[in-house]
Amino acid sequence: MRHLSVPKRDTQTFLKELRSLNWYPEGYRVLRDGEKSLIPISDSAPADLPTSYIIVDREQDAPAAKNWFSLLPKFLSEEIIEEHLGTWPNSHELYSDLLIFKIEREIEQYAQQVALAKIHHSPKIRVVMLDEGVIGEYRVRNLKPLAARFGEQIIDVEGISNLPEETRKTLISSNVKIRENGTSLLLNPSIAYYSSRLAGEREKTVESAIQLKEKLGRPISVADPYCGVGPAVVQLLAQHELVGDLLATDINPEAIKMLKRNLGEIKESWYCKIADALKLNKHQNLLGRFDLLLMNLPHSTLQHLPQLLPLLKTNAPTLLKGWYVVEEEEIPSAEAEFSKVIHQTKTFNGNFKLEIRRQFNSTKVLTRFECRLGDW
């Protein structure tokens, strides 16, 4: 679908102009693209529009008969909604009956109304929370409950605060159980990090691990030093006789508590503990023990890698798999640095590549890498 890419400050001007010409497809959304707004253009508009601004193609679902945004006029005036078109939150995260969303600073005073519109639109949602960023030593999400479903009622922040303490705690709990790639996972985004956006990456990890098992002809030993609540290892363990030895550690004590609940029985050959990844190489019994190493600390992967490579075996093919957030223009230099680090301790026959997975912010991207080390 065609969209007109304009500076955010010009959104209203062009929106009104397109509407006056009947070139705006009602029901479609104005999208955000960094510091630009993408205004949808009707199919009835000419192929060559009289504008100096860029026309871009962007997929956009056809408008539903009813969506949360269509309910916003129940809580805010049309004037306020029109004034901030292109700024209202397009997406949210859904974990079972918990819905989490972020909001731009310029409209954060309307977060309560947005939450009410969202919960009215989704009858299965128990509580809607605003993600106010990360806090604390373990960088977990600061979640603020804004709307909840209490019996047949939908209540706002004030209504939530007026509930008896035990009732309130139960109602707004962020403990949830989800399904991911065929496995069940208990998580709590307010006490331990979890990203649903990496679900596809974890599925790819299982595929790579199976290939490594076939190469070695035996169950593989896996090291996940930043395991969180265990989304990666739970999926690996769900595969028949795929995993032998296991290292699953995290520096966050609450994450490890939840990990152990997700794993159930902990085998003697598994090392599942609270641990600083940078100090694992001090344990002689862990050195040279693992076939697969997962590096899931995307902002610090390059800095941590030298301390964790010694966990991999040296007498058999091994696999290094991870993710890295980097400025897109710096990818070539980052690839060279990664290659240098790996060559210092491991046999690596190939070119190190960072594969872009998605945009992280306006200038940075999340990349993926997979290195086959040793004699493949």
The pLDDT value given to residue 46: 86
Is the pLDDT score of 198 beyond 50?
Answer: yes
In a domain, residue 188? The reply is: no
The pLDDT value given to residue 253: 97
Start-to-end Cα distance in the chain: 45
Residues 216 and 122 in one domain: no
Question: Of 119, 140, 174, which closes a domain?
Answer: 174
Number of domains in the chain: 3
Residues 202 and 336 in one domain: yes
Residues 204 and 88 in one domain: no
Is the pLDDT score of 65 beyond 60?
Answer: no
Which residues have CB under 8 Å from 314's CB, separation 6+? 288, 346, 374
pLDDT band at 267 (very low <50, low <70, confident <90, very high): very high
Residues 280 and 328 in one domain: yes
In a domain, residue 147? The reply is: yes
Question: If you average pLDDT over every residue of the chain, what do you get?
Answer: 92
Mean pLDDT of 189-198: 90
In a domain, residue 153? The reply is: yes
The predicted-structure confidence for 271-291, as pLDDT tens digits, reads as follows 999 999 999 999 999 999 999
Residues 240 and 324 in one domain: yes
Query: Do residues 53 and 4 touch, judged by C-beta distance below 8 A?
Result: yes
Which residues have CB under 8 Å from 17's CB, separation 6+? none
Question: Of 174, 202, 230, which closes a domain?
Answer: 174
Please report, for the domain that includes residue 103, its CATH number.
3.30.300.110
Domain extent, residue 22, equals: 2-57
Question: Of 115, 142, 174, which closes a domain?
Answer: 174
The pLDDT value given to residue 170: 96
Is the pLDDT score of 63 beyond 90?
Answer: no
Please report, for the domain that includes residue 26, its CATH number.
3.30.70.2580
In a domain, residue 186? The reply is: no
Is the pLDDT score of 12 beyond 90?
Answer: no
In a domain, residue 180? The reply is: no
Half-sphere exposure of 114 (CA within 13 A, CB side): 24
Least confident of 99-108, 116-125, 321-330, 349-358: 349-358
Residues 208 and 279 in one domain: yes
In a domain, residue 187? The reply is: no
DSSP 267: P
Looking up tokens 């009707």 gives 42
What is the Cα–Cα distance from 20 to 2, expressed in whole angstroms? 18
The predicted-structure confidence for 129-175, as pLDDT tens digits, reads as follows 999 998 888 889 999 999 999 998 999 999 999 999 999 999 999 99
Please report, for the domain that includes residue 285, its CATH number.
3.40.50.150
Residues 303 and 283 in one domain: yes
CA pseudo-torsion sign 191, 87, 119, 24: negative
Is the pLDDT score of 91 beyond 50?
Answer: yes
Structure-model confidence comparison of residues 208 and 152, the more confident one: 208
What is the Cα–Cα distance from 290 to 249, expressed in whole angstroms? 14
In a domain, residue 181? The reply is: no
Looking up tokens 């996972």 gives 185
The pLDDT value given to residue 326: 96
Residues 224 and 353 in one domain: yes
Instruction: Calculate the alpha carbon distances from 312 to 52, 270, 350, 354 in Å.
Output: 56, 16, 18, 21
Residues 230 and 139 in one domain: no
Residues 217 and 266 in one domain: yes
Is the pLDDT score of 189 beyond 90?
Answer: yes
The pLDDT value given to residue 62: 63
What is the Cα–Cα distance from 225 to 283, expressed in whole angstroms? 13
Mean pLDDT of 191-205: 91
Residues 225 and 361 in one domain: yes
* Alpha helices, DSSP H, located in 130-194: 157-161, 165-171
Is the pLDDT score of 75 beyond 60?
Answer: yes
In a domain, residue 19? The reply is: yes
Is the pLDDT score of 37 beyond 60?
Answer: yes
- The backbone torsions φ and ψ at residue 248, rounded to the nearest 5 degrees and listed phi first, read -135, 105
The pLDDT value given to residue 17: 85
Residues 343 and 198 in one domain: yes
Percent over 70 (pLDDT), the chain = 98
Is the pLDDT score of 235 beyond 80?
Answer: yes
